[in-house]
Structure 1
Amino acid sequence: MFNAEIGYARQQRQSAENGRKELNLNGQRSWKVDEASDAEGIDIPGRCVFAQNDAYLELCNPGWDMQWRTTLGTLIVVPFASLIIWMWYGFAVHPLVFNRLIMFWRSFPFDIGEGDGVVLWAGWLVGFPLAAGVTFLLYGWFFGMGARTNYFTYARGRVRFNRLTRKVYVLRPSYCGGNKVFDWDRLVALPSRVPNGHAMASEIIGSLALYQAPLKPDGSDEDAIYVGPSLTLDPAAQALRLWEYIRLYMQEGPTLDKIPANAPAHYRKIPRYVSHAYGTYCGLPSMSQYQLEQGPDFTRVLMHMVSQMTCSWARFPKEWHSDSGLGEPEDRPVQTGAVMTALVYRAQGRLSKEDEIEFLEHYGTAEALAEAQVRQTR
């Protein structure tokens, strides 16, 4: 879930130059917050909006749609590696300590005089290298490839752009840089994770990165944020259109209620009410909610639920005042423009009648609004 973040954090800990290479900082043009990019228009690629209102725009980090693959890989790697290590222990270590051999779940008396010494030698000469190899495999899977970011941590990253405070508030695990507040005006956008013409460019999943250059002499404030969903179809162009959406939101704010249906491709206005088609649930979703957003693939849903069972939902510290008094999407989905969350709450009967009316006025059909108004008068 935080593969991009842990990759950058690991490289950054090695050296600032490695961190910049991870971002492809010098291999592309960066875009400042006060300059229009050359994106054709603005766009929200996929379901990545937790909430949008006049005070803040909150987006997810990349990796949510790929999390199930990591869990599937974990369910293959961990049992295989565990079996190899267990067999090495049963043939090579347990006989020396307890004078018994273990084969799978059964144990047998160990007698070196009866030829069992061959098994012991095999355990050390063959089993030990195999056990060492799969131990390295486990370390590489969880730490090198970032699989550990899918378990026992935040279920999702949250990136909140507050146009009133001109700050960007980020929630992420401590080993990925930790929770942090950024100054909007110091950030620059990096739309491409790989240099142009790179041999693996089509194989690498893209994402929008926002880079903060260091100001402190020791460079400790140099950092990067990964924003929005994973991008696979012309990632650099998608990332640039997303950046332009974020930039216009922060610089100008919402200027109309909804984007016209016949808006041209180069349209550059931020709507006040974002369709649920761009929204994502703010919280730990149920199986049905995850299916709604990611598709009705049973394997994908099941693997995701296995990962999510170990995770917790991240909340912004109250002392940050990152909501500017408007409230949190989990608590006030209608008022904060958390459309997908409001839809789920309405289906579960968790919206008050007043909130349901307000929600349908902005996001519902005329028929649904009329029915809700009739129910309210009863």
Structure 2
Amino acid sequence: MYLLEWMVVLDHKRYKPGSIWDEQQKKNAEREKKHEKKLFAQGLGHLLTTKESDIHESRSEEVDDNGGIYRKTKSYLDVCTYNDDKRGLLTLAFGVLVYGLIPWWIGDIAQWWSIIDKGVAINGDALDVGYILVLLVSVGVLLPVTYVFARYLFGVWRLEAFTMRRLMVRFNRETRKVYLLRPGFLGGVKAYDWEEVDAILPKNMPNHEGIGGMLVLAVKTEENENPYRDFGVDGAFLGLPSRDYQHLLSFWEYIRRFMEDGADAVPAPKRLRSKWPNPLSSMWTVSRLSLPGGFDLGRSFLWLRLALTPVFVIWGLGHYASLLLSYEGRFPKAIRQASGESELRSWLELLAYNLLPLLYSAVGLWLYYAWRHGLDWRLPLRYWAG
């Protein structure tokens, strides 16, 4: 669920004075000003314009791809974002809601049509006051529920469905650019100079086990409607949860060396991340419950994982459904050309990643249905053969 990215976008907007979001922006701005005054009072005002990390400075002797690389070439590195795998629960909840609303609408429309067309109830009985009253109450509840879902909840659902399957960050060492691949409502596709990027990695943080988290990239921008701040902040949340701070530094070092020293300065990823939706991998993903600090339920609490298997199966299906309800995106043509991508390969991948998952999912559902109902799984083939 792309909640963090959504919060960044919301912080850039201008809201109606006195609204909840406007008041929150004002509080955040006041908090930032107090922090600035404190730094100036301590003689540390220069830190406000100093980056947390110098991209020319090596912060780790080790490098680690953190299992977050989609593709590595001589010119660019495609890295996953932290929230790509955090999905499924909204799809489960809203899927149940839609599953209830659709037959509810169909039933009410059918009953009202029977009344208007034939003057009787849908089952043929004569109309009475109680029957009409029940229908009016039903419509009185259905309309506001549908409105709230369409007006507010569907937009929240887009944080993990009906959107890009993954947000991606491309580091191109030849153009010296960092490209962000996102849908429009999360900031859209952006390109920033490598020198502008700041990795939020405090230099003197101790390496306590369990204090890891995600790699945060930040860039100051002029795009900003927030009336309480003179600049905007864009960025991305990269990689998988790190087990400790050293692990986080080694992940950043992998990216930094690639950009500063070349593709040969870092080893090939131990394993590239797959872009193919798969119900089994979805169940594996949610069962791990990877959280900042490297807390991994799958690795540390095997007995609990086994006990919660039914929960993970249901959640995994929601995760898989959210992937199927989304689409595989790609960078604009100008960025693809600057990266040396093959246009033919790009088109074939776009078609394959968006079409094949729907096809093999439909086949899988048919095979399961045929097995459950004792049908011949070859029936569709015989039908198409004539």
TM over 0.5: yes
- 1:263-282 to 2 correspondence within 5 Å? 271-276=266-271, 279-281=272-274
AA matched with 1:214: T
- In structure 2, how many angstroms separate the alpha carbons of the residues matched to 1:76 and 1:249? 45
- Kindly indicate whether residue 104 of structure 2 is the aligned counterpart of residue 78 of structure 1: no
CA 1:107 to 1:179, structure 2 compared with 1: closer, same or farther past 3 Å?
farther
Question: Which structure 2 residue ranges, 5 or more long, are not aligned?
Answer: 16-21, 36-47, 203-209, 288-308, 347-352, 354-386
CA 1:117 to 1:41, structure 2 compared with 1: closer, same or farther past 3 Å?
same
- Kindly indicate whether residue 52 of structure 2 is the aligned counterpart of residue 31 of structure 1: yes
2:144 is aligned to: 132
CA 1:328 to 1:226, structure 2 compared with 1: closer, same or farther past 3 Å?
farther
2:255 is aligned to: 246
Task: Note the alpha carbon deviations across 1:227-282, whole angstroms, 9 max, x for none.
Answer: 43453866x776555334323332233565xxxxxxxxxxxxxx232211xx202x
Q: Which one has the bigger helix percentage?
A: 2
Task: Note the alpha carbon deviations across 1:346-365, whole angstroms, 9 max, x for none.
Answer: xxxxxxxxxxxxxxxxxxxx
- In structure 1, how many angstroms separate the alpha carbons of the residues matched to 2:98 and 2:116? 26
- 1:221-300 to 2 correspondence within 5 Å? 222-231=232-241, 239=248, 241-254=250-263, 256=265, 271-276=266-271, 279-281=272-274, 283-287=275-279, 298-299=313-314
- Give the drift of 1:156: 1.5
Question: Which structure 1 residue ranges, 5 or more long, are not aligned?
Answer: 193-201, 257-270, 332-340, 342-378
Q: Secondary structure at the match of 1:64?
A: coil
> TM-score, normalised to structure 1's length?
0.58
- In structure 2, how many angstroms separate the alpha carbons of the residues matched to 1:240 and 1:158? 20
On the 8 A contact 1:50/1:329 being kept in 2, the answer is: no
CA 1:299 to 1:44, structure 2 compared with 1: closer, same or farther past 3 Å?
farther
1:142 is aligned to: 154
AA matched with 2:273: T
- Kindly indicate whether residue 307 of structure 2 is the aligned counterpart of residue 307 of structure 1: no
The count of aligned residue pairs is: 291
- Kindly indicate whether residue 209 of structure 2 is the aligned counterpart of residue 189 of structure 1: no
Task: Note the alpha carbon deviations across 1:123-181, whole angstroms, 9 max, x for none.
Answer: 46xx43x75256425654332xx321433332222211011211011221111111221
Q: Secondary structure at the match of 1:66?
A: coil
2:72 is aligned to: 52
- In structure 2, how many angstroms separate the alpha carbons of the residues matched to 1:229 and 1:189? 13
Identity of aligned residues (%): 22
- In structure 1, how many angstroms separate the alpha carbons of the residues matched to 2:86 and 2:223? 36
1:367 is aligned to: none
- In structure 2, how many angstroms separate the alpha carbons of the residues matched to 1:213 and 1:54? 28
AA matched with 1:249: F
- In structure 2, how many angstroms separate the alpha carbons of the residues matched to 1:239 and 1:41? 11
2:291 is aligned to: none
